[in-house]
Amino acid sequence: MITDFKKKRKGDSPNNNIILIFGLFLSLIVFIFLIIANIRIYQKKQELSLQLKALEKQTEEIKKNNAQLQEGIQKATDNDYIEKIAREQLNLQKNDESTAIFLMPETQEEKVENQTQSKNWLGKIWQNIINIFK
């Protein structure tokens, strides 16, 4: 009588195969979830990086504007600067001063430009009159 003794292995049972397949499937799902989460985080990082660059640029512009305003405030309190602006922009003068104004002759280009502007002005009026009666 020959006895057939087979050794039972632990990995050969059907329950172990199902558990192994389920574990691999679960690991795959977790891995895919982590990849998707990583992609979303990367996209958010890029978006925030662009916003940061825009805000840094805006900050620099505000600093430049602030420096110009500070300079303007300092000049506004300087009497020499106020006098210079009054003379140049408002054409003011002191009581004992007289000013001379030199008019430059018009160049040919300026004459042509002035003529075309006057023609355009009349043409626009004429077009408006025509449009009223249409």
* The pLDDT value given to residue 86: 82
Exposure string of 79-92, with b = 16+ CB inside 10 Å and e = fewer, is: eeeeeeeeeeeeee
What pTM does this model have? 0.44
DSSP string, the chain: ------PPPGGGSHHHHHHHHHHHHHHHHHHHHHHHHHHHHHHHHHHHHHHHHHHHHHHHHHHHHHHHHHHHHHHHT-HHHHHHHHHHHS----TT------PPPPPHHHHHHHHHHHHHHHHHHHHHHHHHH-
User: Cα–Cα distance between 44 and 38 in angstroms, integer?
Assistant: 10
User: Cα–Cα distance between 39 and 31 in angstroms, integer?
Assistant: 12
Q: What angle do CA 112, 116, 122 make, to 5 degrees?
A: 150
Between 23 and 5, the more confident residue is 23
Residues 6-58 pLDDT 10s: 655 554 567 788 999 999 999 999 999 999 999 999 999 999 999 999 999 99
Tokens, residue 134: 């249409």
Q: Which amino acid is at 129?
A: I
Residues 89-123 pLDDT 10s: 887 787 787 777 777 777 777 777 777 776 676 77
Local confidence band at 5 (pLDDT 50, 70, 90 cut-offs) = low
